[in-house]
A and B are shown apart, each in its own frame.
Chain A
Amino acid sequence: MEALTLSQAIVVRSFKRRRLAFAALGLLTLSLMVMNLGIGSISYSPREICSTLLNPGGTGDLDFIIWKIRLPRVLAAALGGAYLAASGLLLQVYFRNPIVGPFILGISSGATVAVSVVMLTATGMQMAFAIPFLTTFAGCLGAYGVMLLVVAIAAKVKNGATLLIVGLMMGYICSAITSILTALAEKGKIKGFVLWEMGSFSGFKWVEIWIMIVFGGALFLGVYLLSKPLNAFLLGEDYAASMGVNVRRFRVFILLAASSLAGLVTSMAGPVAFIGLATPHMARLSFGAADNRILLPGAALMGAMVTSLCDLIARMWLSPVELPLSAITAIFGAPVVIWLLLKRRGVRI
């Protein structure tokens, strides 16, 4: 009986800490989102923002700026960050390697290539109305394609550092293809593509937001419901199989979900660096957890918070010039990789 109370005490203690971390992180994310709504070339008070949000359909400047420009961007940044973080977490569990993420494995680049085909060639032009769906679909497809290549190579080389190099090379190949396509494309199309390629959550249409909410939300929910087998995967595929996980089916699902989440965000916001890699670690440390039932929502929240913060910095740091989002996320995320390599935190690399 004593052992029972001891183990329950351990569980209760970590439960309290995690609840606190969720509350703090949620509050921080929310206030960053409000700041993103309020701060800009014209600034609004939280009260003005609240009343505008509560009374949709207004026709003033305030209503236009909030509803048409800032709110889509705020939601896109938060959702995009959340999905990239979830995607990164899935990849880290799958490869049992802390230094992987959708960007570093070349998966975002795969999405970029597929999107560039749609945006730069004539394929997209005839179906302008379908662009958000088409680019999204292309993004997911491109991401999955590269993912399958990386997985096939990873199966041959078990070394974690090699995996990073493979991802890096994939990135090079993809950007080579993209630049060839850019060279061949009509001038008019290039500008939009180049802007997109720098990564940004600006200019989101509501239809894109809804795609993110519905499609991404469904994927995220599906992933969350499978956090039990995902936890079993922490011990490796062989142990997971011995505990009753259908490894073959589950493997396909993880990879499909990770690349779809990354592809979805990339197709709309462009390749955003390092969010998917760094934020799962920040979540691990803040929640003190390896349990994916905690980490999935935790990393998503952390991803939303960090991306909102980075977007705020990108907009405001050298305002009125807006900095590319990927530049900010890279400055913030690349040191995390170096830190992980130095620290190794008990993980083989």
Chain B
Amino acid sequence: MNAASVLKSENLDVGYKTAILSQVNLDIKAGQFISILGPNGAGKTTLLRTLSRHIAALAGLVQVEGGPLSDYPALSLAKIMAVVLTEKAAPPLLSVWEYAALGRYPHSGFLGKLTGHDFEVVASALTSVKADDLAGRMVDQLSDGEMQKVVLARALAQEPKIMLLDEPTAHLDLKHRVEVMSILRGLCRDQGLTVLAALHDVDVAAKVSDQVILVKEGRVSAFGRPEEVLTSEMVAELYDFNEAGFSRHLGGIEIQGDGRSGRAFVIAGQGRGALVYRLLAKKGFFITTLFPGQGDLDHYVAQALGARILGESTGLAESSALIAEALADCLFLIISGTNPAKREWEAAIIRQALAKGLKVLALSEAQNGAVPDGVRLCPDLPGLTGMLDEYMERGRGTDKNREANHD
């Protein structure tokens, strides 16, 4: 990492009158994609607006390409830095081409007359955001996704070295979210553009950023590579998660069940349990599971869903007391996969569950050998869903009967 630092802040305090974020120390190298993450109101936008000089710093110093930000004449700064704000003005009767060409402002002469070179820059800006075909359209007739690409093209027409973006993917559909992100990623890689973006999606940020800045409660709580910074604990703390979990390996958020349907035991492994876990969480179950195997997809999903994982520590031997205790508060046992290292545990759990009179469901694909008596086979996941619904319905019915008897 010998690249020159293009944007640097020292002991920066940002805010309107009172500091929202204080003691911000950043050092951003050329060509990097940096995401700013944090809950709403944490000061992401305020930080960006201070770095773009829309508001003055309350204290501290910002350096752009080695010079103090405050020393730059407006036009010189505009040649280095472009912004994409959440506010999208789409004046009527303005064509996409004219809109993008407004970005030539700091380069064009008096009255804004464009030269052949300006034409080339605008055209290539539209090309880099894959918006050539939009050039003749009117900006007030574009979809949100198309408009956002055009907004990026205008910023690019400034030929900046740094681009500051506030929520560049807000309100966009999935296709355009992915498109905007890959465009920005490509600009960093191919043109050495430095991108600093406030983002909402922690999973997207984890996948595109070279570095992430986490802001919360008035300070930068972490600044570093997403692989190191975005641990499940950090993310949970950043957003005050109680009902969701972030998995670094999965690169995404898992939404946990709230337990209102009870608890289910799952035997998983070899990636066959992930969808079953999610299905149960969606239906409102807490999950207990047998350790699906080291590095197994199921293990990561179970962790992110906050499941109780039995037999995770290798030293522990199979014990019927432990299994009995784990099964005690479970309503079902679902066999969705297998962990070859835990075959004895699995057999013992199935045996105990059947003995206890628990419902035992098995996905056909999970079954390698004969089906023990009392295990109900489901052909596939939809089949399992149907059975779960059926049991839950019956459970509710029983409750009602009980209530009726009380009266």
Residues of A within 8 A of B (CB): 3-4, 6-8, 10-11, 14, 96, 98, 225, 227-228, 231-232, 234-236, 238-239, 241-246, 284-285, 288-291, 293, 345-347
Contact = CB atoms under 8 A, between A and B. Distances in A.
Given A290-B93, A290-B98, A241 B123 contact: no
A289 B158 CA distance: 22
B132 A3 contact: yes
B364 interface: no
Given A3-B123, A228-B108, A232-B105, A11 B85 contact: no
Contacts of A236: 85, 87, 89
Given A4-B119, A234-B89, A347-B92, A241 B111 contact: no
Contacts of A14: 95
Interface in B124-140: 124, 126-127, 132, 135-136, 140
B111 A242 contact: no
22 contacts: A3-B123, A3-B126, A6-B135, A7-B122, A7-B126, A10-B135, A10-B136, A11-B97, A228-B105, A228-B108, A232-B105, A235-B89, A236-B85, A241-B53, A241-B74, A242-B54, A242-B78, A243-B102, A289-B93, A291-B98, A346-B92, A346-B140
B120 interface: yes
B110 A228 contact: yes
B111 A3 contact: no
Q: What 6 pairs across the A-B complex have the smallest Cβ distances?
A: A346-B140, A244-B78, A228-B112, A244-B75, A290-B94, A243-B105
Contacts of A347: 91-92
B103 interface: yes
Given A236-B89, A290-B94, 17 more contacts: A3-B127, A4-B119, A7-B119, A11-B97, A231-B102, A235-B91, A236-B87, A242-B52, A242-B81, A245-B74, A246-B74, A284-B93, A285-B93, A288-B93, A289-B93, A290-B91, A346-B92
B97 A7 contact: yes
A246 to B, nearest CB: 6
A234 B119 contact: no
A10 B342 CA distance: 69
B83 interface: yes
Contacts of A345: 92, 140
Contacts of A291: 94, 98
B192 interface: no
B120 A243 contact: no
Contacts of A8: 119
A346 B91 CA distance: 8
Interface residues of B, number: 45
B322 to A, nearest CB: 62
Contacts of A285: 93
B176 to A, nearest CB: 19
Contacts of A235: 89, 91, 102, 154
A96 B89 contact: yes
B229 interface: no
- The interface centre, meaning the residue of A235, A284, A289 with most chain B CB atoms within 10 A of its CB, is A235
A316 to B, nearest CB: 34
A235 B139 CA distance: 11
Contacts of B110: 225, 228
Contact of A10 (B82, B90, B95, B106): B95
B268 to A, nearest CB: 51
B134 to A, nearest CB: 11
B388 interface: no
B83 A4 contact: no
Contacts of B77: 244
A289 B138 CA distance: 10
A244 to B, nearest CB: 4
Nearest to A4: B123
A16 to B, nearest CB: 14
Contacts of B158: 243
Nearest to A6: B135
Q: Which of A98, A238, A239, A290 has the most CB of B within 10 A?
A: A239
A231 B53 CA distance: 21
Contacts of B132: 3, 6
Contacts of B79: 244
Nearest to A3: B123
Residue from A7, A96, A289, A345 whose CB has the most chain B CB atoms within 10 Å: A7
B145 to A, nearest CB: 17
Contact of A3 (B54, B81, B90, B124): B124
B193 to A, nearest CB: 16
B93 A10 contact: no
Interface in B266-287: none
Contacts of B98: 290-291
Given A3-B126, A10-B136, A290-B94, A239 B111 contact: no
A231 to B, nearest CB: 6
Nearest to B53: A241
A227 to B, nearest CB: 7
Contacts of B83: 238-239, 242
Nearest to B85: A238
Nearest to B133: A6
Contact of B82 (A242, A284, A288, A346): A242
Nearest to B114: A11
A238 B90 CA distance: 14
Contacts of A245: 74, 105
Contacts of A284: 92-93
A225 B111 CA distance: 6
A136 to B, nearest CB: 29
A89 B232 CA distance: 54
Nearest to A281: B92
A241 B14 CA distance: 19
A7 to B, nearest CB: 5
A238 B94 CA distance: 19
A243 B95 contact: no
Nearest to A290: B94
Nearest to A346: B140
> By CB atoms of chain B within 10 A, which of A98, A285, A289, A290 has the most?
A290
